[in-house]
Amino acid sequence: MRKHLLRAFFCALCIAFNPGSCNAASISNVAELREKLRTVRSASPACIRLLNASGTVGCGGPRAAGPILTLDEPGTGHPSGQGILLVGYKDLPLVLQRLQSERKLRASVQGLLVMPAGSAAASPADSCPLAAYAPYKESSYAWNPSGTGISSLDIDIPIFHLDESLVATTQDRAVQNMQQGYKGALHAASLDAPMWAEVNASSCIEAATCLPLGGHSVWAALPPFPAQPAQDPRPITLVTAAIDSTAFFHDLAKGAEAPLSGLIAMLAAAEILGNSTMSTQYERRLVFAAFAGEPWGYMGSKRFLWELHTGENSTRPLTLYAIDQVMELGHVGHADDAEGLSAFYVHSQPGATFGDAGLLTQALLRAGDSKAEVSEASSGNPGIPPSSLTSFLRAKPQISGVVVADFNKRFLNSTYHSQLDTNSSVEAMTSAALVAARALHDLASGQGSTQELKVHRAAVKATVEALKDCLLGSGMSCPLAQSLISAVSPGEPAHYISTLYRLGQDSQDPSLYLKKDVERFLWNFLALRTSSGQAAAAQGGGRECDFGGLHCMAGTICIGFQEAKTGAQARGSCHVATAAYVPSYSLRFGCKGCEEGGAFQWGLSNASEAWERAQGWPQDPMWAESNWPPGGIPELQLYQEEDSAVEGRTLLGGLMAVAASFAGAHWARWSFHQHKDRL
């Protein structure tokens, strides 16, 4: 009986405040009632504000609230009244473009709710990504023909992405509003994404209202450098790939094709070559580098080159002089056809100003097999596609460089830098790894070498599948990652670089609060796969290590240390290997007061200004992300506005509650006196 009375009470309250959406059978407690009256989602995916050298990009504005509105036709329609507009993801570019140009529409729309439903073969990036960095004049060449450029817009309203669980409910509420003619008690939404930073990156860094975008790149050498690197001056072939991606809603970035297909292929190629016993005989040293922050003005490769120039410990003993070849593995995950045959294209930069890429190209052409066809990219292209190689050609134009990709003239990936970039083929990545490994083995062995690289495709495919699981599937809880690191966040790693809170005094400090899970995973994987084995007895062979009191000897490094564990389970082992972290953030940011031994604080720096000017770099974009106010996180609320009738019911309900309380108190007093008189 009591249960039924409670249910009736909750239902009565719900009907009073939210008629039309209440079912007596579905409400049995306060939590369910609260959910019916107001749905709250904290930390919802939102378009956030970034700052750069010239201003702001992304979304931001005061809290917006109002009825949920719809458009009959996204291209031409106008909503009835003011409120929060509900749109599909596929219609978002068109609606944003209209908001930028149509005052009437902008006056009606106070915020956007974006539904994930519907496929969208569109990229929010520009049609020619990072055109200012291209080593050619045709900066309008559309490598990314599906690019809409909406990620570059500055939007002064909050925009939230609905999760799947709210889509149907929100659509139903929008339809109810429309059927009511947007009158009476309307379903509404409140969007709150409070961000502090204003003006530009310089201003917010000085005001401490933003943090730099940043992270750490990783590199490893095969064979490892000896304890005295000057005694082994081999030329270097640098093999590169990017780590992270982005999207309009940054936290939803995936990057399966761009850049993770190239990264996975590079890691698998490093394993193939590291497993070979012939690497000690190479005439060239191979250095594998995974760059962080490349979508943001080639932040990772630029910082890498700057630290090479200044001789920081993050890049020693590398020198730019020794690096005379660069092979980049770009988009390779869409290379295969229905029969499993992959087609790759080798892009190089033509012109007498730039180094001859003939040796690299020919090695790649020879590396094809029955599963992989390799061709030179069209001579009609202006040059190389957007890639880290552009940074190296700027710093050292005579360097020989190529980009290996699954496209010839235009990206095959129509969802570049979007949340829908979720697919990459294991077969294509396996073929890319094999082609790269054979070509690199050919180049490193020297002319006239007859040593053939022995490799089994099935083993390479297994490695590719394991890496894909770690980076795109189960994440850092995958068996491979668990064998190498202690993950702070065991799920799928974030594919947006996010902010760099601070730097350690030692750039090689792998502490959990200084290095992200994916960075530590890449460092340990590359270090282990390129090592020449555990240290010999004279080098402390068999020694356990950590980053506290158990150190490895010179010329060896500690691999597999797991900081979150304790005792023997936490310790790694000493290996003969060369691997390092390289910080990745704008060259115009630096530690304020660190030279005097003060607490770490971000500030501005002009130390690289002369170097950048001499090499003709575009203005450093100085990417930063706005801080949230204390306790402030993106919050989405769905609720129902009250009309005058509800206000009347509220008043009546209040009067009834007062009357009931008075009557109850009077009855209790009367009952007490009656009982007392009987005594």
- Same structural domain for residues 497 and 394? yes
| SS3 label, residue 111 | strand
Mean pLDDT of 306-322: 96
- Same structural domain for residues 12 and 111? no
Q: Please report the pLDDT score of residue 30 as a whole number.
A: 47
- Same structural domain for residues 386 and 478? yes
Q: Please report the pLDDT score of residue 559 as a whole number.
A: 95
Q: How many CA atoms lie within 13 A of 65 on its CB side?
A: 11
Which residues contact residue 51 at a Cβ distance below 8 angstroms, ignoring those fewer than 6 apart? Answer: 57, 197, 199, 200, 201, 204, 210, 622, 623, 624, 625, 626
pLDDT above 80 for 150: yes
Total number of domains in the chain = 3
Q: What is the pLDDT of residues 402-446, one digit of tens each?
A: 999 999 999 999 999 999 999 999 999 999 999 999 999 999 998
| DSSP 8-class letter at 386 | S
CB 476 within 8 Å of CB 517: yes
**561 within domain boundaries:** no
Q: pLDDT above 70 covers what percent of the chain? A: 85
**550 within domain boundaries:** no
Q: What is the pLDDT of residues 572-599, one digit of tens each?
A: 999 999 999 999 999 999 988 676 666 7
- Same structural domain for residues 237 and 119? no
**579 within domain boundaries:** no
* CATH (domain of 287): 3.40.630
> Which run of H or E residues covers position 572?
strand 572-575
| DSSP 8-class letter at 507 | T
26's tokens: 């579905």
Closest among 637, 675, 669 to 113, alpha carbons compared? 637
**516 within domain boundaries:** no
- Same structural domain for residues 494 and 367? yes
Q: Which of 480, 501, 522 is the last residue of a domain?
A: 501
pTM for the model stands at 0.89
Instruction: Sort 129 into a burial class: Cβ within 10 Å, 0-12 / 13-18 / 19+.
Output: buried
pLDDT above 50 for 16: no
**572 within domain boundaries:** no
- Same structural domain for residues 130 and 242? no
Cα distances (Å, whole numbers) of residue 108 to 356, 399, 584? 57, 55, 41
Q: Please report the pLDDT score of residue 547 as a whole number.
A: 78
Q: Please report the pLDDT score of residue 86 as a whole number.
A: 96
Which residues form the domain of 106?
43-200+631-642
CA distance 284 to 223: 9
**347 within domain boundaries:** yes
Least-confidence region, from 71-85, 146-160, 251-265, 665-679: 665-679
Strand partners, 13: none
Q: Which of 453, 477, 501 is the last residue of a domain?
A: 501
- Same structural domain for residues 255 and 180? no
Mean pLDDT of 260-268: 99
CA distance 652 to 316: 77
Cα distances (Å, whole numbers) of residue 373 to 92, 195, 332, 432? 38, 50, 12, 10
- Same structural domain for residues 339 and 438? yes
pLDDT above 50 for 17: no
**531 within domain boundaries:** no
List, edge to edge, every strand of the sheet that includes 544-545.
Answer: 544-545, 572-575, 557-559
| SS3 label, residue 192 | strand
CB 201 within 8 Å of CB 299: no
Mean pLDDT of the chain: 88
Hey, what's the torsion of the CAs at 357, 363, 367, 373, to 10 degrees? 30
pLDDT above 50 for 9: no
pLDDT band of 661, cuts 50, 70, 90: low
- Same structural domain for residues 47 and 4? no
- Same structural domain for residues 26 and 47? no
Q: Please report the pLDDT score of residue 13 as a whole number.
A: 47
- Same structural domain for residues 291 and 179? no
Query: Per the omega criterion (within 30 degrees of 0), is the bond before 259 cis?
Result: yes
| Residue whose tokens read 């970034």 | 50
**432 within domain boundaries:** yes
Least-confidence region, from 303-312, 481-490, 536-545: 536-545
CB 399 within 8 Å of CB 393: yes
- Same structural domain for residues 277 and 187? no
Strand partners, 161: 114
